[in-house]
């Protein structure tokens, strides 16, 4: 038995971190449920900010809504590396190359810290022209400028725990990352009202206070992530291995670049939609900000499933257990339809009270209600694109993922919302989104499943795909 075999055998996680054996359904449940809590924690940071800022007024809510597309684009750029880490590390584990997986993890964290710093610096010097382009006016721009500079620092700090968590998940453990993210969310929720409205000797900071709360929470997450990687899980090597940094970079970048591009396409599309919605007034922007946060929460289980199944797919692809890869995808698709239609029904029935949680403005509530009555019933189909994208990233075929996301966003969604807006206003935008979800979901599902069946018949060809 080789050293790498012993290392794999001794992984300190349930089922030894080996996802190439055992019931797939049990693995999916074990890896997905903690991810639901972890992702809920990430989303709850934004939901908490949205809720507490909404108490300041509609103008403040609109101002913070302008930041959502930008923060999402930056975060999703970072998630490109996150996807790459999960794919590369899980496949190395499947190949029983544990020493290489630790070295790649360390170099990925170094790359994440440097990359996030560069992106944050560029963003800082382009904030005003960027948000002017998005439609921020004299009322909302000061709110944006209060929030974003501090959030950019938090973004750099966040790069370590979020990418470290990806490496931990690739080793078969989703509980530890979930604990880290829940801790971050809890701290943010506690500090939000304190810094926004003031408490005791702490003066009220308004919107800026939300950014300060997030920064404090991410700093705690930073140290928690480092502790988990080095002391708790021992997933980092004892030396830097800079002589092999080029090899790590090659492995990571080949997936990180297309995955990063795919990840930012939808937030960029969302930014364009926000700019389009802004033509209908501050209330419309505020409403879209609300439904975007609720929508993210509604997608929680689907995103968690996509993240949870990635290490299963990656490890089995590395071990050449192709039938287990396809079985995993089938189970994920079945769950997607059940969950998505259930969410659509709930949002449709409770549209008014949900919208009322975030605003008492009747116009904001009206626009939010329209969205919940139109778009959610297309989620089951639109989520198929996300599921297949996650699958292709996990097996090291990110270009397929990029093409699907690009076509859905730029070729279909943007023209559809512009046409819908021109003829039917806000309702036209929402209908356009729903039509694209249904059409693109069905088309790409059929195309991807055909490719999946070809993989089963001739798996040896996939190395060149």
Q: What is the distance between the alpha carbons of residues 327 and 26, in angstroms, rounded to a whole number?
A: 13
The secondary structure of the chain in percent helix, strand, coil, rounded to multiples of 5, reads 85, 0, 15
Phi, psi (rounded to 5 degrees) for 199: -160, 120
Q: Integer distance in angstroms from the first to the last C-alpha of the chain?
A: 32
pLDDT of residue 9: 45
- Give the pLDDT score at 156: 95
Query: What tokens appear for 218 in the block?
Result: 């991410």
DSSP per-residue string spanning 34-87:
HHHHHHHHHHHHHHHHHHHHHTT-HHHHHHHHHHHHHHHHHHHHHHHHHHHHHH
pLDDT at 463 (0 to 100): 39
Q: Find, among 461, 460, 447, 458, the residue nearest to 391 by Cα.
A: 447
> Which pLDDT value is given to residue 4?
43
> What distances in angstroms separate CA 378 from CA 304, 382, 406, one per listed residue?
19, 6, 19
Question: Which residue, 296, 274, 316, 234, is CA-closest to 144?
Answer: 274
Radius of gyration of the chain (CA): 22
Q: Tell me, what's the pLDDT at 254?
A: 82
Instruction: For residues 222 and 184, give the distance between their C-alpha atoms in angstroms, rounded to a whole number.
Output: 9
Report the half-sphere exposure of 326 (CA within 13 A, side-chain side): 15
Q: Mean pLDDT, consecutive 10-residue segments, the chain of 465 residues?
A: 42 54 82 76 77 85 82 81 82 81 91 93 92 84 92 94 86 83 90 92 91 94 92 86 89 82 79 85 84 80 81 79 83 89 90 83 88 90 86 80 89 93 90 94 88 62 40
Per-position b or e across 302-339, b if 16+ CB within 10 A of its CB: bbbbbbbbbbbbbbbbbbebbebbbebbebbbebbeeb
Whose CA is closest to 462, among 303, 260, 322?
322
């Amino acid at each position: 038995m080789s050293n790498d075999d012993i290392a794999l055998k001794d992984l300190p996680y349930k089922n030894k971190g080996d996802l190439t054996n055992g019931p797939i359904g049990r693995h999916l449940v074990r890896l997905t449920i903690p991810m639901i809590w972890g992702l809920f924690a990430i989303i709850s940071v934004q939901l908490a900010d949205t809720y507490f800022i909404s108490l300041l007024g509609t103008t403040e809510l609109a101002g913070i809504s302008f930041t959502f597309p930008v923060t999402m684009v930056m975060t999703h750029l970072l998630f490109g590396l996150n996807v790459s880490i999960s794919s590369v590390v899980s496949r190395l584990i499947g190949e029983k190359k544990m020493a290489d997986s630790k070295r790649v993890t360390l170099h990925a964290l170094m790359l994440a810290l440097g990359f996030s710093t560069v992106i944050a610096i560029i963003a800082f010097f382009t904030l005003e022209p960027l948000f002017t382009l998005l439609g921020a006016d004299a009322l909302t721009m000061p709110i944006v400028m209060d929030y974003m500079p501090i959030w950019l620092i938090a973004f750099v700090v966040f790069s370590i725990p979020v990418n470290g968590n990806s490496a931990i998940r690739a080793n078969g453990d989703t509980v530890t990352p979930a604990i880290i993210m829940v801790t971050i969310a809890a701290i943010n929720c506690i500090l939000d009202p304190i810094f926004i409205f003031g408490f005791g000797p702490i003066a009220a900071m308004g919107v800026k206070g939300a950014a300060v709360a997030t920064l404090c929470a991410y700093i705690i997450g930073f140290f928690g992530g480092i502790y988990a990687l080095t002391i708790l899980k021992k997933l980092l090597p004892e030396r830097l291995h800079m002589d092999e940094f080029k090899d790590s970079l090659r492995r990571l970048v080949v997936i990180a670049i297309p995955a990063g591009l795919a990840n930012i396409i939808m937030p960029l599309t969302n930014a364009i939609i926000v700019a389009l919605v802004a033509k209908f007034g501050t209330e419309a922007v505020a409403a879209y900000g609300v439904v975007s946060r609720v929508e993210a929460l509604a997608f929680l289980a689907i995103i968690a499933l996509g993240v949870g199944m990635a290490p299963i797919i990656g490890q089995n692809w590395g071990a050449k257990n192709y039938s287990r890869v396809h079985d995993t995808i089938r189970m994920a698709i079945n769950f997607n339809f059940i969950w998505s239609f259930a969410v659509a029904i709930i949002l449709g029935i409770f549209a008014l009270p949900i919208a009322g949680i975030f605003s008492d403005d009747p116009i904001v509530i009206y626009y939010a209600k329209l969205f919940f009555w139109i778009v959610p019933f297309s989620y089951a189909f639109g989520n198929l694109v996300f599921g297949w994208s996650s699958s292709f990233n996990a097996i090291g075929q990110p270009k397929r993922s990029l093409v699907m996301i690009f076509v859905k966003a730029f070729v279909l969604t943007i023209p559809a919302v512009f046409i819908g807006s021109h003829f039917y206003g806000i309702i036209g935008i929402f209908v356009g989104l729903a039509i694209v979800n249904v059409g693109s979901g069905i088309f790409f599902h059929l195309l991807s499943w055909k490719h999946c069946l070809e993989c089963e018949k001739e798996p040896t060809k996939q190395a060149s795909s």
